[in-house]
Each structure stands twice: as C-alpha cells, then as structure tokens.
Amino acid sequence: MYKCNQVRLQQTIEHFSQFGATENGGVTRLSLSKEDILARDYFKECCEALGMKVKIDDMANMYAVLPGKKDLPPIVMGSHLDSVVKGGRFDGVLGILTALEAVRTIIDNDIELDVPLMIINFTNEEGARFDPAMMSSGVITEKFEKDVMLQSTDKEGTTFAQALAQSGYEGDVTNRLKNALAYIELHIEQGPVLEAKGLEIGVVEGVLGMVCYEIRINGQSNHAGTTPMSMRKDPMLVASKIINYLHGELSKLDEELVYTFGRMNVKPNIHTVIPNEVVFTIDSRHQNREVMKQVENVLLALQDEMDGCTVQAVKLWGRDTVHFNSVICDEIEAACQSFGYSSHRMYSGAGHDAQYVASVVPSAMIFVPSVDGKSHCEEELTSYEDCAKGADILLETVLTLQAKQSVNPTAITK
C-alpha cells in the first residue's frame, strides 16, 4: 500500500484555489473563463512535468495520460475544474488533484504500471455559465447534441461555441474518451451523511433517480380588500394546502426519499391582489424506481379542482437511477479496509460526470466528507486529512484494478 503525500496535496489544492479566488475563501471559476483557463494551463503544466501527455477534445475536455507497459485502454480518474459563482475550493477540483497526487505518488515510488492511467478534466460540469450541467461528459457519451450545446449562451451573450474558440482549448473530436477500462471520480460528498455518521469514505454505488414536476394552480385575481373570503378562488391558499398534503403523503413512503418545493411563481405577485396563478415545482429523488413511481402516482392523483381553482401536475423531466460498477465499488471498499478507513456505501443525490461516463465505461465514485454538508458556497470545506485519505483510496483502487486488469482484461465488466 502506498500513502499519498498530504502536505503536497494541500499545497496543490491551495495553489488551485488562487485561480478565481473570492474574498471569503471560495472560488468563482466559471467554465472557459480566464480563471478556468489559468487553472487548465497549470493543470497541464503539472501533468507534463510528470511525463504525462495532455490531449484535448472538441469539447475542451482535457485528457492527461501516463503510459503503461502494455498497450491497453487506460484506467481513468478525474472530475472538473470549473465552479459555480462563489463556490468552494473542493467541488470538482479535488477529483483532479487527488488523481494528480496519485500519479505523483506512483512516480515517487517507481511503481511500474502495465495499464496506462488517465486524468480527465471535464468542461462545464457545473452548468453555471452555460446550461446544462455536465455538458461535455454528456456530449461525448451522446446524452446531448453538440450542435445544440454550442448555442448555449451565458449572461453576457457569449455562446459556448465562441467561448470554446477563444479559450485555446478547442481540440480534436478524435481525442474524445473511448474504450477505457474504468472511470473513478473522487468528489466531496456535498451532503452531511458521512460527517454525521463519523465516517471517512463514501463508496458511491450510483446516482439517485429523480423526477421534477410543476404544479400549476389557476384561480381568479381580485381586490385584496373588497373580496370576501368566501367568494375567492385563491390559488395561493390551494398551493399551501397541496404542499402540506404532499409532505404528509410523501413522508410516509420511504425514509430515504427526499423532495423539495424549490421554486414558486406567483402572478401577478402584488400584495394588494389575490393571485390568479401559482406555479411551484417539486423535485424528488430516490434510488428505487418503485418508490419514484409511487411519488408520481401521488402527484398525478391530485384533484384537478380545489376550492374553485384548477390544479394540474405537469412532469418537467426525470432520470432513472444510475448504478455504478459493483466490481469497482468492491475494490474501493476493500481499499478502505486495507487502510483501516471507515466507509459507507451510498448513492449520490447530486449529479456528476460519472453518471454519464457510466453508460460507456465501468464507473464508480469515492466521496470524502463535507464539513456541515456544505457545498456550492464559499464555506465549502473538507479537511486536508480527509482529502489525503481519499487520495490514498483512489490510488489503491487504481493500482488494484490495473494489476487485475493486466492479468485478466475482463476483470471489470460493465
């Protein structure tokens, strides 16, 4: 077993934190912004200093390869260097920097590899500058059409195509990821579970399926002072009844089910006027397709008329749970046991590049604890000790997989 160098990892994280540093200790590093380009340039420099070759594909995804002795497809690590506005110093970048630390440790220890290793930086994972999230892992795995993505526009009116052309990171389509043996993405948990349970590593078995519905309620606008309560058709009162009702029904289904009423639009949204329309969303997530079906049944069974208002439940979108590769998950868990790090099998409630990569390459994820479960904010924090433990597990998993793979090329099956 090889331990990573915590001090060096900390220094590397601190160095990357300068690219887009914010006043309160976070980062704003929007995809293909000048801060992102600086981070990319430095990442490339670090990889080349280790003897890795860096290739770029047509979506500006970066691929750094450490050659192996055999001509085999690579084992891949990675994540994303971009952040949200006023995001943290760990989301995404940690998956790349722990991978870098793993490669540095391999080189320090003269470990000979049969299988090539690759580190990927996926472009525009956050979707914070260009919608949608996980854009470029989505394009190379045929979840999104590239032509449509090129037209995605940021707040300044710059299209993704323009940003790509100006970035200096528009590479060749032939460099896209294909035919890898495994993909392992280390990421901060972005939730409170590991910390609350006092655990060190999350073995991520998949990404939760989700549905998002819009509940549209229409009533009658009228004067807030002159209309007696008994003569109103008030969609806001109906909305509050429905939210309470849904909370009651959904909380009975499964204790791991989560649901959120995250957006509400009120028309005309004036304090002296009874609204004529209230539209709110419910986002719900669970790993089990049956439970998600039950959620949808509850939503679709809402009465279409309540207190004089019409009620409609409209599905905006949904995705099935993505299950990661069990062989890789077992290896991650075994690595935790070897190091004596406590671990916990779990599903990710948030989306990650790995969920798209999983459709073409056997994939899994490693989570490290988030202090107070916070992410996408400047307070986002994972202790350097926990970061280093994550790097140990990433390295150990990669080494075990490459040893197995070199003997038996079908050791990891989809």
Q: Give contact residues for Zn ion (rule: CB under 5 A).
A: 91-92
CB closer to Zn ion, 169 vs 367 = 367
Neighbours of 255 (CB within 10 A): 6
Token duo for residue 121: 């930086």
Closest of 193, 353, 212, 215 to residue 292, by C-alpha:
212
The smaller minimum CB distance to Zn ion, of residues 87 and 209, is found at: 87
Cis, peptide link before residue 228, omega less than 30° from 0: no
Task: Identify which of 120, 38, 44, 58 has the alpha carbon closest to the alpha carbon of residue 354.
Answer: 120
CB of 91 or CB of 154, closer to Zn ion: 91
Under DSSP, is residue 311 helix (H, G, I), strand (E, B) or coil? strand
Quote the least distance from Cβ 109 to Zn ion, whole Å.
29
Name which of 133 and 246 has its Cβ closer to Zn ion: 133
Maximum distance among all alpha carbons in the chain?
83
- Beta-carbon contacts of 240 under 8 Å, excluding residues fewer than 6 positions away, are none
As measured in angstroms, the least distance from the Cβ of 241 to Zn ion is: 37
φ and ψ of 217, to 5 deg: -125, 125
- Which CB atom, from 91 or from 386, has the smaller least distance to Zn ion? 91
CB of 84 to Zn ion, least distance (A): 9
Residue 80 or 286 with smaller CB distance to Zn ion:
80
By Cβ distance, which residue is nearest to Zn ion?
92
For the CB of residue 204, give the shortest distance to Zn ion in the complex, in Å: 13
Backbone dihedral angles phi then psi of residue 334, each to the nearest 5 degrees: -65, -40
Q: Rounded to the nearest 10 degrees, what angle do helices 6-17 and 34-49 cross at?
A: 150
- The CA distance from 163 to 350, in Å, is 26
| Residue 74 vs 92, nearer CB to Zn ion | 92
Question: Could you tell me the smallest distance in angstroms from the CB atom of residue 190 to Zn ion?
Answer: 7
Q: How far is the CB of 13 from Zn ion (least distance, A)?
A: 15
From the CB of 355, what's the least distance to Zn ion, in Å?
11
Find the shortest distance in angstroms from Cβ 90 to Zn ion.
9
CA distance 324 to 414: 9
Both structure tokens of 75: 């084992």
Planar angle of CA 82, 85, 88, nearest 5 degrees: 65
Minimum distance, C-beta of residue 91 to Zn ion, in the bound complex (Å): 4
Taking the CA atoms of residue 182, residue 348, residue 301 and residue 230 in that order, the dihedral angle to the nearest 10 degrees is -150
Could you give the CA distance from residue 410 to residue 405 in angstroms, rounded to a whole number? Answer: 7
Nearer to Zn ion, 348 or 405 (CB): 348
Question: Of 94 and 181, which CB lies nearer to Zn ion in the complex structure?
Answer: 94
Distance CA 335, CA 343 (A): 10
Pairing of strands 209-218, 277-286: antiparallel
From the CB of 346, what's the least distance to Zn ion, in Å?
16
Is residue 77 within 8 Å of residue 93, measured between CB atoms? Answer: no
Structure-token pair, residue 140: 């190379």
Q: Which is nearer to Zn ion, 125 or 234 (CB)?
A: 125
